[in-house]
Structure 1
Amino acid sequence: METFGRYELLRKIASGGMGQIYLARQKGPVGFQKLLVVKRLLPHLSEEEEFIQMFLDEARIAALLNHPNIAQIYELGDVDGIYFIAMEYVHGEAIAEVNKRAIQRKGLMPLALKCRVIADAAAGLDAAHHARSPSGRKLALIHRDVSPQNVLVGFNGCVKIIDFGVAKAAGKLAQTVVGTIKGKHAYMSPEQARGEPLDHRSDVFGLGTVFYELLTQTRLFKRDSELATLKAVVGAKVAPPSEVTPGIPKALDALVLKALARNRDERFATAGELQLAIEDFLVKHQLPGTTAHLAAFMRELYAEELEEEFSNEPTIIAYDPRLTAGRKAPPSGEEPSGPTTAVPTPKAPAAKSVPPARVPKSMQGTEQKETSRKTTVPPRGGKGDK
């Protein structure tokens, strides 16, 4: 276990060309501890101005976003000249993994819960799109990388949008070159695939793609090559979800296809409008799609892992005398009247002292690298699968 500033780095959970991501623990007095994620810039890049600016942009942007459906940034700093970001640890999994697990274990994720995930993700995006700086200036923020890997579902039913690493915002230190493509090809909007100027409706299209794939269990635009995928994004025919997966209500067909309109003027004007349309659908069809339902589903789906994690948690104590220092001890046989909330206390360091906290599979292994290249997609539609 490595100590990095005031954090203990418990386990590396991702690494890439620009940085490394760790599951970390912050410790404090009287047994205080908190799990979080630390992302730090690679040492050899800490002297490269371009990479420093990109790293600072990610932290500055995310720090201005305060919403239940956006993973929070706690701190930006440096330790011995190495920049880092401390951020919220989401105890859950990416929706891509949740859907895959549901198919393996339970058959299919209920329609109402798929709607809940997308509605909450839309709420987070809408908050980001309308965010302002401390001075009140609109950030004009666009995520640009909305994908199943960047939508996390907590075991408590809370949905979080993560990774604003390639986001576009007014006032960024590092500016994007016009005509470059950033993000995952299969979840881009047509205008993004063509390298055109973007607005927040590009993220609506990306979330619409995630929704379509979640409903139909198929990849919408993914093809054998990057160029073929980009051409599919621009011009491939999109069949109504109910034609791919019978049983999906027609009202949901219309909703998804509106989010996927190639002409952005025909899409939902905001992510908030998409969220409201999904909420109205759930109410009209009386479907059980609350956060509580999603939490119950997640806990059942991952019951074995959660039980194993719980059984291996560090020792906790019910009472620490330092909490009531200076008070008169209670009479024999009576409970102390002061704070007796269970306080986590770390075990003594040992060879295998790291708690097996669950790390989203989307963050395990190699970090998803940002794609940045000149687009070669024609400005008009291309063919999809032959």
Structure 2
Amino acid sequence: MGKVLAGRYEMLKPLAAGGMAMVHLGRALGVGGFERLVAIKLMHHHISAEPEFVTMFLDEARLAARIRHPNVVPTLDVQESPDGLFLIMEYIEGASLHQILRSAGQRPGIVPLGVVLRVMLDMLAGLHCAHELVDDEGAPLSLVHRDVSPANVLLGTDGVARITDFGVARAEARLSSTRGGQLKGKLPYMPPEQLMNDSVDRRADVYAAGALMWEVLIGRRLFQADSDGATLNLIMAGPSATPRQIDPTIPAAIDEACMRALDKRREGRYATAADFSEALEQAAHASGVTIASARVVAAFVESSGAFKKMHPKELAALKKGIVEPTPATRSGRGSASGARSGPAVEQPKSAPTAPSQVTSAGSALSTPTAPERGRRYGVGIVVAVALGVAGGILVWRNLDGSTKGVATSASEPPTQASNTTPIEPTVLPAASAESTSTASAATAQPSADAVASTSASASPVGSPVRVPAGGGRRPATTATPKVPATAYDPDRL
């Protein structure tokens, strides 16, 4: 049996390590043999020991727990143990948009238009519910996510898209705002007012949703340059091209809806996420585009190469604590070879590494055998994702409100890298499985089904994604992009 926290949450397998927490697959235990799979986010000691952050985190976690919506991953519990502060979230089988884009490769139309619209409508519905949250007296709580990005949008095998990590994003943003004006978040999705350290409202999330939609339509980030400073300049200048200018198959009405969300002036954007959603529905209807059903989205997720279901025998072995080390487990580390595979992953030094937590859960990285070389196998997504941030942005302003200068800095030590990093599944005797390649330690996302071994028949990187009719795939286009020619890199923040 794995380590049990607070008397009822058993850690089965470490899934990801990030600057703020270690993510585990776990199960909630109850009387009469009751159990439920959950995701456990165990904060690192250096985070749990910081009173200011703990206070803010608990405050924001209480707010996030009030959100009840099918398109928001729920926070189920917040606890503290000798190992540190941890929270319990619903376990979702599926993949994040980050993982899907990473698996699919770089080209417009890789995600069918109907699927893009369905995901956007789901995500915006969840955001609107959170934005409308009120306290016990009926007063608005003005909750803003502040970190809407592909890593925080999960696509389940049920075909439902969900937004996650409200409390974590808010708490970290509040903490950073008290420290010399530094901003935290994923730079390519921040609106200009957030970069300038102004107050933000729900329209900041609308802007981020627009940047996310642009990226999923085109297959690469809207704002991405060789440095944070250059990326910031691109954001302040505004989009240099619309999705339709790059991919003419995108209907004009859908293109216009996306670009309004990306208006540099907050008053020029949709006032609410619900308004953005309604505009997309109307644009789809006017353009004759069928919005994908949940069944079509589910088929797309399973065929994307970013997800593989966990074998029941493997889960049973995890519950019994049966783990057989692979050769890479004994050697310590390894990574798959291939054009898109990243460097081998090491856990942050501050992450829990006691043998009882890691060895029994099978967290070691594994090196693929010879037949696997040249392949990249997809992994699923766990509900706990992207706990860290891309880096600090320090903005000085004149008294008249104009930007005097902007400097970016690596404000955090290496142990506080921005995103959670998936830890690869090990081979279990009860299931014929193969290791998956690992992503960069600073950027890769945790996987909900990283506990699941991927089969040798998984799709290689860049292979076409097949979905049932109704997905709305656009024909390939040879249009020349009119935006800066920076290769898509979903790991670069």
TM-score range (shorter-chain normalised) is: 0.7 to 0.9
After superposition, the C-alpha distances for 1:255-275 in whole angstroms (9 at most, x for unaligned) are 111011111111111011111
The residue type paired with residue 87 of structure 1 is M
Instruction: Return the offset for 1:41.
Output: 2.4
CA shift in 2, pair 1:40/1:55, >3 Å: farther
Confirm or deny that 1:180 pairs with 2:182. Answer: yes
Query: 1:360 aligned to 358, 363, 381, which one?
Result: 381
Query: 1:375 aligned to 392, 395, 401, which one?
Result: 395
Question: Counterpart in 2 of 1:312?
Answer: 313
Equivalent-residue separation in structure 1 for 2:273 and 2:307 (angstroms): 35
Within 5 A, what are the aligned runs for 1:156-175? Answer: 156-164=158-166, 165-167=168-170
Question: Counterpart in 1 of 2:124?
Answer: 122
After superposition, the C-alpha distances for 1:299-325 in whole angstroms (9 at most, x for unaligned) are 33359822xx2353556xxxxxxxxxx
Question: Counterpart in 1 of 2:80?
Answer: 78
The residue type paired with residue 368 of structure 1 is G
The residue type paired with residue 86 of structure 1 is I
Is residue 183–residue 371 contact of structure 1 (8 Å, CA) maintained in 2? yes
Within 5 A, what are the aligned runs for 1:22-171? Answer: 22-80=24-82, 82-103=84-105, 108-164=110-166, 165-167=168-170
The residue type paired with residue 44 of structure 2 is L
Query: 1:298 aligned to 296, 301, 304, which one?
Result: 301
CA shift in 2, pair 1:302/1:16, >3 Å: closer
TM norm structure 1:
0.80
Equivalent-residue separation in structure 1 for 2:177 and 2:306 (angstroms): 44
Question: Counterpart in 1 of 2:418?
Answer: none
Aligned with 1:212: secondary structure?
A: helix
Aligned with 2:110: secondary structure?
A: coil
CA shift in 2, pair 1:351/1:286, >3 Å: closer
Confirm or deny that 1:194 pairs with 2:218. Answer: no
CA shift in 2, pair 1:173/1:227, >3 Å: closer
The residue type paired with residue 150 of structure 1 is N
CA shift in 2, pair 1:255/1:120, >3 Å: same
Instruction: Return the offset for 1:243.
Output: 1.0
Is residue 41–residue 84 contact of structure 1 (8 Å, CA) maintained in 2? yes
Query: Which of 227-236 and 183-192 deviates more?
Result: 227-236
Query: 1:251 aligned to 247, 253, 258, which one?
Result: 253
Query: 1:351 aligned to 313, 317, 323, which one?
Result: 323
Instruction: Return the offset for 1:173.
Output: 8.5
Equivalent-residue separation in structure 2 for 1:354 and 1:80 (angstroms): 19
Query: 1:228 aligned to 227, 230, 233, which one?
Result: 230
Aligned with 1:229: secondary structure?
A: helix
Question: Counterpart in 1 of 2:375?
Answer: none
Aligned with 1:312: secondary structure?
A: helix
Aligned with 1:12: secondary structure?
A: strand
The residue type paired with residue 201 of structure 1 is R
Instruction: Return the offset for 1:347.
Output: 5.7
Identity %: 33
Question: Counterpart in 2 of 1:217?
Answer: 219
CA shift in 2, pair 1:128/1:371, >3 Å: farther
CA shift in 2, pair 1:87/1:247, >3 Å: same
Is residue 103–residue 306 contact of structure 2 (8 Å, CA) maintained in 1? no
Query: 1:14 aligned to 16, 41, 65, which one?
Result: 16
Which of structures 1 and 2 has the larger relative contact order (alpha carbons within 8 angstroms, sep 6+)? Answer: 2
Is residue 155–residue 295 contact of structure 1 (8 Å, CA) maintained in 2? yes
Aligned with 2:10: secondary structure?
A: strand
Is residue 41–residue 55 contact of structure 1 (8 Å, CA) maintained in 2? no
Alignment: residue pair count? 351
The residue type paired with residue 169 of structure 2 is V
Is residue 185–residue 391 contact of structure 2 (8 Å, CA) maintained in 1? yes
Equivalent-residue separation in structure 1 for 2:194 and 2:129 (angstroms): 21
CA shift in 2, pair 1:268/1:44, >3 Å: closer
CA shift in 2, pair 1:303/1:268, >3 Å: closer
Is residue 37–residue 86 contact of structure 1 (8 Å, CA) maintained in 2? yes
Equivalent-residue separation in structure 1 for 2:187 and 2:105 (angstroms): 25
Is residue 396–residue 403 contact of structure 2 (8 Å, CA) maintained in 1? no
CA shift in 2, pair 1:176/1:80, >3 Å: same
Is residue 36–residue 87 contact of structure 1 (8 Å, CA) maintained in 2? yes
CA shift in 2, pair 1:381/1:250, >3 Å: farther
Aligned with 1:375: secondary structure?
A: strand
Equivalent-residue separation in structure 1 for 2:236 and 2:184 (angstroms): 16
Question: Counterpart in 2 of 1:203?
Answer: 205
Instruction: Return the offset for 1:369.
Output: 3.1
Question: Counterpart in 1 of 2:290?
Answer: 287
- Name the structure with the higher helix share: 1
Instruction: Return the offset for 1:58.
Output: 3.5
Equivalent-residue separation in structure 1 for 2:219 and 2:70 (angstroms): 28
Equivalent-residue separation in structure 2 for 1:233 and 1:137 (angstroms): 34
TM norm structure 2:
0.64
